Structure 1
Amino acid sequence: MESSSSSYGIEQLQKRCFHEWMSIQAKHIVDLKEALISQRNNDHHLQELVGKIVNDFQVYVEKRSELSHRCCAAYFAPSWHSPLENSLLWMGGCRPSSFIRLIYALCGSKAEAQLSKYLLNIDDENFDIDHDGSMSDLTATQLAKINELQMKVVKEEDKISKESANLQDDVSDIPIAAYATDVAVEADVEVGDVLDKHEERMAVVLVEADKLRFETLRKILEVVTPVQAAEFLLAGKKLRMSLQEWGRVREEVCARAPLPQEADPGTQTRTML
């Protein structure tokens, strides 16, 4: 088990890794917006940009994997996230199936097209969200492939969730449970070994979840056109950045909220009578 000072140091590395990734995503947003406006009909340029973004994500996933094997607990409730962001986490990140739900939100009806325009955040008056090849123009064949992918991804998510639940159940087993009954007060070393093993196994679960996130993204990009890929990535990244901002704002609101006043015990008794 890592010492407390060592664990803190690793957590700081994890935090720095996350903030570096968010900075990279902010640059991705700028690059994608520019490409969709000025290079929309240049498939080669869009493919290169999408490929670079996928590679950046893979590098980030690999860094997370390396850091998680040194100390993974922080990834399941990161101190660098807002409470809102943490409340939406699944295995240290977003659900891979949420990628597919975003696709459904970006295609189809006029209302969904308006949502797409908001998520893409492109205000250029010459930009038309309904251009041929956009996310709103997914073909029946593409939708069928995406639907098939969704079923597979949800099945894999359930499998990983079950693995995590089993690990949580194991923590309640002996010798940790002995502490609840004061039977094994001298079991510190044994408990430490159990927690070390638990964290090692949770790191494996985190890596599996990250792999599923990456593979889901990669398979989605195999189905869509270069323009659709750029629109999808832009929408997802803008949504992620917005979530971070919404979480920050809600934290500030909660911090300013007045604390509830405690009722006077005597007054409360008289009221009850």
Structure 2
Amino acid sequence: MASFATFYTTWNDQLHHLLRQLCSAPKPPTTQDHLHHLSHLVDKVLSHYSEYYRVKAAVVERDVLEVFAAPWASSLEKSLHWIAGWRPTTVFHLVYTESSILFESHIVDILRGMRTGDLGDLSPSQFRRVSELQCETVKEENAITDELSEWQHSIGDLMGTFTEVDQMIGRLASVVQKADDLRLRTLKKVVNLLTPQQAVEFLIAAAELQFGIREWGMNQDGQRTF
């Protein structure tokens, strides 16, 4: 499992590098080349997240309990986890929050009929599709939560044989894999609903939130006395 901790550190460093590329990209894009560049950056970031879940899936199969323990994460990060990772519906809260902040900052221009093209300028069609996706995601999220709850209740029925324990651990690994699949699918679907400029802004906000929580959590862990 130490190898995954090493992978996570490297993966996190690479995400920092990608964040710098996202932040330095022209917004709004002024040429077709700039637009292609934004799309390419978005694809790179999504591929980076896909790689994380590909490696994590192998670890889940090998030792799902260690994934729940998440020794590579801060105490704060672990306190926010839903089934060994972030809650998929967090994506929608982030979209709405960023959209609201940018809308308020550009409200005068928007009222004058000027289009900013950023997350504060989501079209009615985009809002509708995001809302529909949110409802679908909530249903899937609740179903996975129920499956975990059933697993937790059934753990008391174990007779203590190795076969039964292995089966229970296998069921838990399946729950985590479903949760991770929903996390990645939700991220990709939301990005696909956005323009390249909006997708870049969303991915910047998501990465900054992730880094902010991690940094604050690590600082708190470092100050804690036992």
TM-score, reference length from structure 1: 0.74
1:164 correspondence with 2:148: yes
Does 2:181 align with 1:211?
yes
**Amino acid aligned to 1:166:** E
TM-score by length of 2: 0.89
Summarize the Cα distance change of 1:155–1:113 in structure 2 as closer, same or farther, 3 Å threshold.
Answer: farther
Q: Give 1:88's aligned amino acid.
A: L
Matched, 1:144 2:114: no
CA RMSD of aligned residues (A): 2.1
Aligned equivalent of 2:78, options 62, 65, 86: 86
The equivalent of 1:186 in structure 2 is none
Instruction: Find the aligned partners of 1:175 and 1:13 in 2 and give their Cα distance.
Output: 34
1:22 aligns with 2:12: yes
Q: Percent identity, please.
A: 29
TM superposition shift of 1:113: 4.8
Which 4+ runs in 1 deviate beyond 2 A?
36-41, 108-114, 192-195, 252-255
What is the alpha-carbon distance in structure 2 between the residues aligned to residue 252 and residue 111 of structure 1?
A: 38
Q: CA 1:248–1:89 in 2, change beyond 3 Å: closer, same or farther?
A: same
- 1:242 maps to 212
> CA offsets per residue over residues 96-149 of structure 1, 9 Å max, x none?
1101110000013568659xxxxxxxxxxxxxxx97111111111101110111
Aligned residues between the structures: 217
Give the Cα–Cα distance (whole angstroms) in 2 for the partners of residues 48 and 26 of structure 1.
Answer: 17
Gap regions ≥5 residues in structure 1: 1-10, 115-129, 177-189, 260-273
Structure 1 residues 112 and 62: alpha-carbon distance in aligned structure 2, compared to 1, 3 A threshold: farther
Q: For 1:141 and 1:200, how far apart are their aligned partners in 2?
A: 41
Give 1:233's aligned residue. Answer: 203
Q: d(CA) in 2 for partners of 1:110 and 1:222?
A: 20
How many Å apart are 1:38 and its aligned residue? 8.7
Letter aligned with residue 95 of structure 1: R
Mapped partners of 1:242, 1:131: distance in 2: 30
- Displacement of 1:212: 0.6
Q: Is the 8 A contact 2:118 2:198 kept in 1?
A: yes
Alpha-carbon distance in 2 for matches of 1:218, 1:110: 22
Partner-residue secondary structure (3-state), 2:149: helix
Q: Residues 24 and 110 of structure 1: is their aligned pair in 2 closer, same or farther, counting only changes over 3 Å? A: closer
Matched, 1:50 2:42: yes
Aligned to 1:123: none
More helix by share: 2
Structure 1 counterpart of 2:58: 66
**Contact 1:107 / 1:113 at 8 angstroms: preserved in 2?**
no
